Chain A
Amino acid sequence: MTTAAAPLSVFATPAWYQNRTLRRFMRHRLAVMGTVMIALLIMACVFGPYLLPYDDLKIDIRHRFAAPFTGDHYLGTDALGRDTAARLLNAGRISLLVGFFAMVISTVIGASIGVIAGYYRGWLGAVLMRIVDAFLSFPSVFLVLVLAAFIKPNPIMITVIIAATSWMEIARIVETEIRSLRERDFILAARMIGASSRWIMFRELVPNAIGPIIVAATLTIAHAILLEAYISFLGYGIQPPLPSWGNMLNSAQQYLGKAPWLAIVPGLAITLAVASFNFIGDGLRDALDGRSDLK
């Protein structure tokens, strides 16, 4: 902290904060690796299908069960002779999109409930947080399976179902954060000025809780991808012929002995994506450590 006016101008304001966060993030090797992996994965899924010579739905019975790196098919073919690489990348589009939008929905729900519960406290906060506890007390996989059994499984419904079972963690994190933030003097100052509750919640509290929210959101993507894989693997999720990493695993299981790569390839993709998002979350947690930059 400086008192003189002149040297301060060296650090243009928002850049100072962002630089420090970025610097701390870059020091986290695994997080940087995770970011690179996710970037590659996203680019491959977005552009890959256009570059590959095969369509993901094209059946080629004569070349079924081709091993990876043997013929024209980079990653081999499945039981119907469909190109595994093309299916993997198209499945990635679905799986990543489901994960991303499930994260967006659950972050919005979780953060809103957390902010309202943490700000109002009292009976409203207690009721909201008991609802969170009630949701948390169901094992989410079973909840997802039950919901999926009743609702026609298309990607949008799957996203909604996953979001409906993964917002609670964010609600808890945000509630704790808001509870402690609302005791700070700048909230009193805002009340003194006559700011509305909405202003205080969304203009004063949320921007200060953004760090934990981003971290929780990143970890939620990993969780959502994994959950989509679960339910698709169990046959309640994304329905073939539309590929997803989960249902690729599902169709691979009967040929595990004959063509193990059919399981290994999507399995690796899931592991890679989930681990990368978790690493990014860890890195962000360190980089955005709220305590130090609030001071």
Chain B
Amino acid sequence: MKPRPLIEAVGLAKYFPVRQGLLARNSAVVRAVDGVDLTIARSEVLGLVGESGSGKSTLGRSLMMLDPPTDGQIVFDDTEITPFSDRLLQPYRKRMQMVFQDPFSSLNPRMTVGEILEMPLRFHAAALDKAGRREKAEQALETVGLPGQYLTRYPHEFSGGQRQRIGIARALILEPEFIMADEPVSALDVSVQAQVLNLFARVRQNMNLTMLFVTHDLAVVGHIADRVAVMYLGRIVEIAPTRTLFAQPRHPYTEALMSAIPMPDSGNRRQRIVLKGDIPSPISPPSGCAFRTRCPYAVLECAQARPPLRLVEPGHQSACIRDDLTLVSPLDAVSEASPTWARAI
């Protein structure tokens, strides 16, 4: 039986107008997100990957109604929240929270950790008094592995990893059902990344969280996600359960992304697929398949129509028209020497 989705996006689009000159009309739009259908089931972790400029963060923010979408619907727990005003969204804010990329900019430098953590409670748990809020904040800090007495300190006294833990504590303090994590580890050192990822895995289990995990790093996604969606130029080009995606990528863009994952050399020479050029401008995307300009397998038909996401096997959708391709999986090279996350897949 298919689990009921917690959050669902239908035809989601977010365009940004490009201003040209002082009085000029908005003559062009950046199609940051261009028609995305997405469902995330309860207690599922969906990884969203793509290179910078692919629109993955914008998609995440639109889903959270931080940047209301230009078009399309967002359905949260069977309620369409797209047309909601800030006031109507208020009860949903409690249920969906966000962890930010840059732990240096996401904490107000003029507030103590205690003030930062108590802020969500002020708005959503009016019944709590000062002492109650403090106690909750202390618990939240301990949940993320920091001692409770840190409450009186300011963000600048902490390292990047510790700050990110504080950011996670802030997102968790209201006990939300859904968390959108926007590149939560990409600003951290590799050693700290692992700790923070483990923290995510732990709280996800304990609190039965549903998550959208936005990242440009496939290795990170392999570690935490149940399913992975690959995004290119505002569209989802492939979506599959993590294991399937890694074992049997069906879209050339996924293959290229995966070939860039660093792997310990196991003797088998892996071929590194280096994409030519930059991601095309989202103001005027290429006709047909947006990836065809950089795709090593592109054929004439690719330019004709925008390929829709098609089911290629149960649970696995891809937007590539070339079914004849056999793409290289990074797991082909996996051996005993590989990192644990790769063997786990």
Q: Are the C-beta atoms of A195 and B108 separated by less than 8 Å?
A: no
Q: Are the C-beta atoms of B101 and A185 separated by less than 8 Å?
A: yes
* Contact partner, B93, options A184, A188, A192, A204, Cβ 8 Å: A192
The verdict on B102 contacting chain A, using a C-beta distance below 8 Å, is yes
Q: Residue of B at shortest CB range from A1? A: B159
- Chain B, residues 82-120, CB within 8 Å of chain A (1/0): the string is 000010011001100110111011111111100000011
By a CB distance below 8 angstroms, the chain B residues around A256 are none
Of B98, B147, B161, the most chain A CB neighbours within 10 A belong to B98
Q: Are the C-beta atoms of B119 and A192 separated by less than 8 Å?
A: no
Q: Are the C-beta atoms of A186 and B153 separated by less than 8 Å?
A: no
Q: Residue of A at shortest CB range from B120? A: A193
User: How many angstroms between the C-alpha atoms of A295 and B160 in the bound complex?
Assistant: 11
* Contact partner, B159, options A2, A186, A207, Cβ 8 Å: A2
By a CB distance below 8 angstroms, the chain B residues around A2 are 157, 159
User: How many angstroms between the C-alpha atoms of A230 and B56 in the bound complex?
Assistant: 59
Q: Are the C-beta atoms of B93 and A185 separated by less than 8 Å?
A: no
Range, interface on chain A = 20 to 34
Total A-B contacts with CB atoms under 8 angstroms apart: 84
User: How many angstroms between the C-alpha atoms of A8 and B98 in the bound complex?
Assistant: 29
The verdict on B170 contacting chain A, using a C-beta distance below 8 Å, is yes
The verdict on A3 contacting chain B, using a C-beta distance below 8 Å, is yes
Q: Are the C-beta atoms of B147 and A5 separated by less than 8 Å?
A: yes
Contacts of A162-221 to chain B: CB distance below 8 A: 184-186, 188-195, 204, 207-208, 210
Q: Are the C-beta atoms of B152 and A13 separated by less than 8 Å?
A: yes
Chain A: minimal CB distance from B70 (Å): 17
User: How many angstroms between the C-alpha atoms of A184 and B111 in the bound complex?
Assistant: 15
The verdict on B162 contacting chain A, using a C-beta distance below 8 Å, is yes
Contacts of A260-291 to chain B: CB distance below 8 A: none
By a CB distance below 8 angstroms, the chain A residues around B66 are 188, 191-192
Chain B: minimal CB distance from A1 (Å): 5
The verdict on B158 contacting chain A, using a C-beta distance below 8 Å, is yes
Chain A: minimal CB distance from B209 (Å): 16
* Contact partner, A188, options B100, B104, B154, B156, Cβ 8 Å: B100
The verdict on B297 contacting chain A, using a C-beta distance below 8 Å, is no
Q: Are the C-beta atoms of B120 and A186 separated by less than 8 Å?
A: no
Q: Are the C-beta atoms of A192 and B108 separated by less than 8 Å?
A: no
Q: Are the C-beta atoms of B109 and A195 separated by less than 8 Å?
A: no
User: How many angstroms between the C-alpha atoms of A185 and B107 in the bound complex?
Assistant: 7
By a CB distance below 8 angstroms, the chain A residues around B104 are 295
User: How many angstroms between the C-alpha atoms of A121 and B161 in the bound complex?
Assistant: 34
Q: Are the C-beta atoms of A192 and B97 separated by less than 8 Å?
A: yes
* Contact partner, A208, options B108, B124, B153, B161, Cβ 8 Å: B108
Known: A13-B154, A188-B66, A295-B156. A194 touches B123 (CB 8 A): yes
Known: A8-B153, A194-B93, A195-B123. A189 touches B158 (CB 8 A): no
The verdict on B64 contacting chain A, using a C-beta distance below 8 Å, is yes
User: How many angstroms between the C-alpha atoms of A290 and B246 in the bound complex?
Assistant: 46
Chain B: minimal CB distance from A203 (Å): 8
The verdict on A17 contacting chain B, using a C-beta distance below 8 Å, is yes
Q: Are the C-beta atoms of A186 and B106 separated by less than 8 Å?
A: yes
* Contact partner, B105, options A14, A16, A184, A191, Cβ 8 Å: A184
Known: A184-B105, A194-B93. A3 touches B162 (CB 8 A): yes
Q: Are the C-beta atoms of A185 and B123 separated by less than 8 Å?
A: no
User: How many angstroms between the C-alpha atoms of A3 and B100 in the bound complex?
Assistant: 21
* Contact partner, A8, options B89, B110, B157, Cβ 8 Å: B157
Q: Are the C-beta atoms of B109 and A185 separated by less than 8 Å?
A: no
Chain B: minimal CB distance from A192 (Å): 5
Q: Are the C-beta atoms of B123 and A193 separated by less than 8 Å?
A: yes
The verdict on A294 contacting chain B, using a C-beta distance below 8 Å, is yes
Q: Are the C-beta atoms of B123 and A186 separated by less than 8 Å?
A: no
Known: A13-B154, A189-B170, A193-B119. A293 touches B109 (CB 8 A): yes
By a CB distance below 8 angstroms, the chain A residues around B147 are 5
By a CB distance below 8 angstroms, the chain B residues around A295 are 104, 109, 156
Q: Are the C-beta atoms of B159 and A185 separated by less than 8 Å?
A: no
By a CB distance below 8 angstroms, the chain B residues around A210 are 110
User: How many angstroms between the C-alpha atoms of A294 and B104 in the bound complex?
Assistant: 9
Contacts of A1-53 to chain B: CB distance below 8 A: 1-3, 5, 8, 11, 13-14, 16-17
Given contacts A2-B159, A3-B161, A193-B170, 17 further A-B contacts (CB under 8 A): A1-B156, A13-B157, A16-B154, A17-B154, A185-B105, A186-B109, A188-B98, A189-B98, A191-B66, A192-B97, A192-B98, A195-B123, A207-B108, A207-B110, A208-B109, A208-B110, A210-B110
Q: Which 9 A-B pairs have the closest CB atoms?
A: A185-B106, A194-B93, A207-B110, A186-B108, A185-B105, A185-B100, A193-B120, A184-B105, A3-B159
User: 19 A-B residue contacts at CB 8 Å?
Assistant: A3-B159, A3-B162, A17-B156, A185-B102, A186-B105, A188-B106, A189-B98, A192-B97, A193-B124, A194-B89, A194-B90, A194-B93, A194-B94, A194-B123, A194-B124, A204-B108, A207-B110, A208-B109, A293-B109
